A and B are shown apart, each in its own frame.
Chain A
Amino acid sequence: MKILTAPRMERCIGCHSCSLACARLVHGRLSWNTAGIRIASSGGLSTGFEAHLCLACDPAPCAAVCPTAAFVQRRGGGVVVRKKRCIRCGACAPACPVGAIHLEPDGEPFVCIHCGRCVPFCPHDCLEHREVEEGAGGPGEEERP
């Protein structure tokens, strides 16, 4: 199984191409919010950028608190999302230890599904869609280029 990682965020220029690609291709939206990967500058642009995305927990705390099994554990880490089952209760977002789940005002959750479709849109190769062993539990240590 593959997971999405962001090991080279020092290279990020803050273009949001990854978020926009996810929103466009996976969720059919024009948005930098309704995306599995979201780019933020902390304390202004002069401090650089960080990626908010699912770290592929196994077991995933968000799946554990989901009352309708809309989020279920994914092999290799993270969750499989079954939108039709979601009742918009919003329990998943606060359960995520790293703030990777975005909730729309109506409670619809958006989280990375580790499909990797954002990766080719990063102009600086910050992202990686890489193979992990089942049960490895997250991306492990950040890789250095």
Chain B
Amino acid sequence: MSETPFRVLRVDLASGRGETLAIEGRSRWAGGSGLAAMLLGRFGRLDRPWDDPEQPLVFAVGPLTGLYPLMSKTVCAFLSPRHGQAAESHGGGRSALALRLAGYDALVITGRAAQLSCLSLGTRHLALRDVHFLRGLDVQATGKILRRILPGAGHRSILRIGPAGEARAAMACINVDTYRHFGRLGAGAVMGAKNLKAIAVQGDGSPAIPAGKDYPRVFEEVYRLLTATDMMHKYHNLGTAENVAVLNALRALPFRNLKQTHDPGAAAISGEAFAERTLLRNAACAGCPVGCIHIGFVREKFMEPNQYLYRQVSYDHEPIFAVGAMLAVCDPFAALDLMEEAERAGLDVMSAGVALAWATEAFATGLLSERETLLPLAFGDARAYAQAIWHLARGQNDFYRLLASGVERAAAHYGGAEFACVLGQEMAGYATGEVFFVSQALGFRHSHLDSAGYAYDQRHEKPGVEDACRHLFAEEQGRCLLTSMAACLFARAVYTEERLAACLEAAGWGEIASRLPEIARRVQAERWRLRLKGGFTPEEVPFPRRFTEVETWKGPIDPAFLARLRAETARGIRRLAAQAEEDRAAGAAASGVDAPAAEG
């Protein structure tokens, strides 16, 4: 029996035209991360700059998208403005279900639009429209206008960028449906470089569900595990914000630009404090009954007497760490205000918070003056940070433009590299130890979610290099499989490899179900092949001195162990990439070069 090819919509922004492609490889790449990597390899020019108009912006969903709960993520692949190399970012909201129900496994966008434009698509609809009038508009205002002017209200997903993306800031994110993001590594700048303000996906198809009795049975089993057991309790209850107090107690919460790993002020911005004082309601991605999105409120007295407005802002551990702990803003409402400013500006709030934390320390030590920062920066001064976020987003002067391209670049110019909290990109909110630092610095996405080194740090008092390294690569491989489906990683305890196979079988994807370990290995290796081909040298990723000055509950960081783990991880990355090169050569020899075919 022949495989079902991927159905991919390729849109060229220069002409405003699209074509549907039938692309083979379902049993090799599955979808999600695997499909995105394959498409980036096929359409990307790894030897050219990230903002070359021909570079692709890829969005891919998986074989289980929409069919099971929490199969709710879209994988975005692109060349990052951060390093010019292959990158991946994951977003939820309604994007995955909308793309699936629009009838596509993936969307590949190439070219550059002549004017600032919005791409809208559905099962029977594809249009590129001029939205020059949205130039400079913030993310929320853009969403409101697009909802009004685009056809088909209701079941659609609207991806858009703010001023930061238009300014091509490497810290610019793509906002998805108000409260979710393709947050890290600058996907927003890629849209900006393409003159693409927004993408609206109408999920207006209604395909038949898989035949047979197995699908409803497996669905109900998964649904029960996710809703009737305690497996998702954390995410449903306080959400990831629960981590704030836990990490602070462990002495592993980065505070004041990582000068500290705990602080009494953390109590005021804990998940418990946010829930008690600011939590308004929860929300969910489409197809997820857990509802991990926590939405807090801030109200503002904008006029006397007693004239108020209110805003709703989503929060999580990472934004609280970035604009709360790192900036010593220990008031939940003030922290929400900063999250809202970053949200509206279209900045990745994690990178923005860490960048301003570095700038604050550099300002205090005299490396920067108001000539650069345009206003005095001091830990805890939320009002100043609210303005600085917009300077960063708009690239107000040379300093902010450089800072928005990455803290390490600003530090290379102004000094202060030793306290730049960068691990491949601005750090995530865990100062748990050497394994996490290496896992982010040498992670494919430079994300805490690549291989969860922070969890390993917490479970092992005295880790060994080989064991830690084995763990990181095994974890990465498992996560590659999940994100190729494309699952939310919060469901990782439910979607074991065995259950994924059962889900795939019941959904009629037997050809994928029987090859899961092989697919996971292939996707993991191919991503590293792409990254190294773009020039990544894992042996040279710097670890600023601040990371070796940290003290956690285990005591001081062991620089020798850190160095050995980095070297071993770098070797592992090169082995994977070499393996992918060999597989590729063998595949090309066996089947010839596979060019995409027009659907017919």
A residues adjacent to B (C-beta < 8 A): 13-17, 20, 23-25, 28-34, 38, 40, 43-46, 48, 104-105, 121, 123-124
Contacts and interface: CB of A to CB of B under 8 A. Distances in A.
Interface in B128-163: 143-144, 147, 153-155
B2 interface: no
Given A13-B282, A13-B284, A20-B287, A32 B203 contact: yes
Contacts of A24: 209, 216, 219
A14 B206 contact: no
Interface of A is mostly: loop
Q: Which 6 A-B pairs have the closest CB atoms?
A: A31-B206, A15-B284, A13-B291, A123-B289, A13-B284, A34-B206
A104 B154 CA distance: 15
Given A24-B216, A24-B219, A31-B205, A14 B286 contact: yes
Contact of B289 (A17, A33, A40): A17
B206 A40 contact: no
Contacts of B69: 17
Interface of B: 66-67, 69, 97, 100-101, 124, 143-144, 147, 153-155, 177-179, 203-209, 216, 219, 223, 227, 281-291, 293, 312
Given A14-B283, A30-B209, A123 B178 contact: no
Given A13-B282, A15-B286, A46 B206 contact: no
14 contacts: A15-B287, A16-B287, A29-B208, A32-B203, A34-B206, A38-B154, A38-B155, A40-B154, A46-B178, A105-B124, A121-B289, A123-B227, A123-B291, A124-B291
A14 B284 contact: yes
B206 A104 contact: yes
A45 B178 contact: yes
A13 B92 CA distance: 14
Contacts of A38: 154-155
B291 A15 contact: yes
Main secondary structure of the interface of B (DSSP, over half): loop
Contacts, number: 85
A46 B66 contact: no
B175 to A, nearest CB: 11
B291 A40 contact: no
A40 B94 CA distance: 12
Residue of A17, A28, A105 contacting most chain B CB atoms (<10 Å): A17
Most chain A CB neighbours (cut-off 10 Å) among B101, B154, B219, B285: B154
Contacts of B144: 43-44
Nearest to A108: B206
A40 B153 contact: yes
Given A24-B216, A30-B66, A30-B101, 6 more contacts: A15-B286, A31-B206, A33-B206, A43-B144, A45-B177, A46-B312
Contacts of B219: 24
B194 to A, nearest CB: 25
Contact of A33 (B204, B216, B283): B204
Nearest to B153: A40
Given A13-B283, A43-B147, A28 B209 contact: yes
A31 B101 contact: yes
A20 B207 CA distance: 12
Contacts of B179: 45
B227 A30 contact: no
Contacts of B154: 38, 40
Nearest to A45: B178
A113 B69 CA distance: 24
Nearest to A32: B155
Contacts of B284: 13-15
Contacts of A44: 143-144, 147, 178
Given A40-B153, A45-B179, A46-B178, A30 B312 contact: no
Contacts of A20: 66, 287
A28 B207 CA distance: 9
A25 to B, nearest CB: 7
A29 B207 contact: yes
